[in-house]
Structure 1
């Protein structure tokens, strides 16, 4: 296995453990710091120091970091350079294998959490039969306000699936096709934010543009990784700071985050050995579970606790207990649901392929 300038694996399809760690931190930012503000009374949230206040105000933009990481990792795993200067091709032999790998990774936990939320919150506003069907078909991010129903954060999973499809079709078409798809996706997203972007957020109508911008920018960063390795770390720190602090006035804050802050964070994470440490890998492995599991836990907490009043100490205690519950359930989900289901689906696909090859040989 080859290793890059920062010690991260760079061989064909090698695991980028430092980005797993970054994804784990991003999942915790959304699940444990941004969404849980609904557990507390406004005066309690007002006691938080500046950094935590940023998470409560802008933590939703960490979902754009998810999209960026996914695009980078997908290019790393699924693209192979033919020869220097000859562009890239899709590594997997068939689109079928690509689709099965994505279903095995995403759908089992999504389905279980959908059913859990359907049982626990069946009477909640927005949890309609139409919304259930949309979630079942992974279309919840494209049907009006449906993305806010049942397991709300899963809207971004459906957007990622759309990015996967565009990426696979572009990669199968060859280097130029993938480049065109990437450029059109990024420019289309930026045009959306230029014409319809609004301050604050998150807004339902921004879902797909956010996904397209982050995902395809991520895979373009991977293709330019050799040149980007030489970018000074201090420059990346400055760009990240600018992206995080830039006041866009009445415009959306998504473009500066996706174009400046999160690419810089990704490139810096690849240079930090700690991001690939055992605790960060543990967190990264469970990031998907953290992202989906926390929502029903949070909603049950809201039902039982209401809006908790108190000082910063109260906030710390309640948040710590909530985070512990989410992490424990996420760990159990990863061990007993995600991993076995993924292996079973992939094994079934391999058996089907072998059976098909055997039938062709017999003929």
Structure 2
């Protein structure tokens, strides 16, 4: 079942990720430990909460999709068709645009951001990871197109989604206990496992729906938003904050689903939502090009901000074309799956 408010929310989240990468071009905590200015602090910490909501929302939508398909392989084929074309396009833009252009930008321009990663050598596992959406081995997407790290996480969640659906149907909300324990045990071996409970939370919200009384929706939205933005309060980007942030994301989704905020139903929000996936995978290479062209005169941040309208235009073009070549190839691989 399509929920228009979720479509609008997806667009707002994608734009938040884009804005966070304006700061990420000059500041990444594990590269530049010094505190950024207020703008950098506030915008940098927008990215992770937006992605946390994406993960829970993806669990919600994909669980419903999985439940509709008659078999696991039909579901997997549909997920390949959904994820692979644009993810591959994003990888190609990283390989053919972001990396070559980043090599032309002087190293002193933004030494503390993501640009230095694009100048590092590529390894076989990076290429294999990009081509297989992570199934061929985890890859450092920072060396290719930084936002693409979530594509591998989405792939792992898609592989596990039939098991999540079974868990949600048989155990209900109790399914969170074994998944959280398993995630805690396996995360030291493979850290993306830490993120799987967020997808399960979305699946539970979809398959074991919770209905809140109308007067509780605004307080739940406020509590969820504050919990989601815990990084702004703590000034930390610790990976373990993903779990409380996912809880906040779940509360936000519950409230948004029943409140149907007019802002998320507006034309601009819906327009963004339709193009959110294309915007997510294409925006970073566009920003790198703008930094190369305008950075010497305007600085990295101003150049990246001026790139945002161009990012929207590129996303619109990709959405309009819908990557027909890749779509046709996907249909040949999985004929009969709509």
TM-score by length of 1: 0.71
Q: Which residue of 2 aligns with 1:239?
A: 223
* Contact map agreement 2:57 2:253 (CA 8 A) in 1: yes
| TM superposition shift of 1:319 | 4.7
Q: Which residue of 2 aligns with 1:161?
A: 155
Equivalent in 13, 35, 39 of residue 21 of structure 2: 35
Equivalent in 129, 134, 143 of residue 129 of structure 2: 134
> Which is worse superposed, 234-243 or 100-109?
234-243
Q: Which residue of 2 aligns with 1:323?
A: 308
| Distance (whole Å) between structure 1 residues aligned to residue 236 and residue 91 of structure 2 | 37
Equivalent in 286, 289, 298 of residue 300 of structure 1: 289
Q: How does 1:156-305 map to 2 (within 5 A)?
A: 156-171=150-165, 175-176=169-170, 183-189=177-183, 206-210=191-195, 212-228=196-212, 232-243=216-227, 244-245=229-230, 247=234, 252-259=240-247, 261-270=248-257, 271=259, 272-305=261-294
Change (3 A) 1:162 1:238: same
| TM superposition shift of 1:334 | 0.9
| TM superposition shift of 1:63 | 1.0
Deviations 1:234-254 (A, max 9, x none): 321341254124539796432
| Distance (whole Å) between structure 1 residues aligned to residue 311 and residue 237 of structure 2 | 35
The answer to whether residue 84 in structure 2 is matched with residue 93 in structure 1 is: no
Gaps of 5+ in 1: 1-13, 79-89, 197-203, 354-363
The answer to whether residue 81 in structure 2 is matched with residue 104 in structure 1 is: yes
TM-score by length of 2: 0.76
| TM superposition shift of 1:72 | 1.2
Q: Which residue of 2 aligns with 1:46?
A: 37
| Distance (whole Å) between structure 1 residues aligned to residue 186 and residue 17 of structure 2 | 24
| Distance (whole Å) between structure 1 residues aligned to residue 334 and residue 176 of structure 2 | 30
| Distance (whole Å) between structure 1 residues aligned to residue 60 and residue 168 of structure 2 | 18
* Contact map agreement 2:122 2:143 (CA 8 A) in 1: yes
Change (3 A) 1:268 1:54: farther
* Contact map agreement 2:60 2:203 (CA 8 A) in 1: yes
* Contact map agreement 1:39 1:302 (CA 8 A) in 2: no
Change (3 A) 1:340 1:284: farther
| Distance (whole Å) between structure 2 residues aligned to residue 180 and residue 18 of structure 1 | 28
Change (3 A) 1:340 1:183: farther
> Which is worse superposed, 21-30 or 274-283?
274-283
* Contact map agreement 2:60 2:206 (CA 8 A) in 1: yes
Deviations 1:54-91 (A, max 9, x none): 2223432321111011011123333xxxxxxxxxxx32
Change (3 A) 1:250 1:153: closer
| Distance (whole Å) between structure 2 residues aligned to residue 250 and residue 34 of structure 1 | 13
* Contact map agreement 1:140 1:146 (CA 8 A) in 2: no
Gaps of 5+ in 2: 104-118
| Distance (whole Å) between structure 1 residues aligned to residue 152 and residue 244 of structure 2 | 24
Change (3 A) 1:263 1:339: farther
Equivalent in 129, 144, 154 of residue 150 of structure 1: 144
* Contact map agreement 2:11 2:273 (CA 8 A) in 1: yes
* Contact map agreement 2:172 2:208 (CA 8 A) in 1: no
Q: Which has the larger radius of gyration?
A: 1
| TM superposition shift of 1:233 | 1.9
| Distance (whole Å) between structure 2 residues aligned to residue 229 and residue 339 of structure 1 | 45
> Which is worse superposed, 179-188 or 273-282?
179-188
Q: Which residue of 2 aligns with 1:85?
A: none
| Distance (whole Å) between structure 1 residues aligned to residue 314 and residue 45 of structure 2 | 26
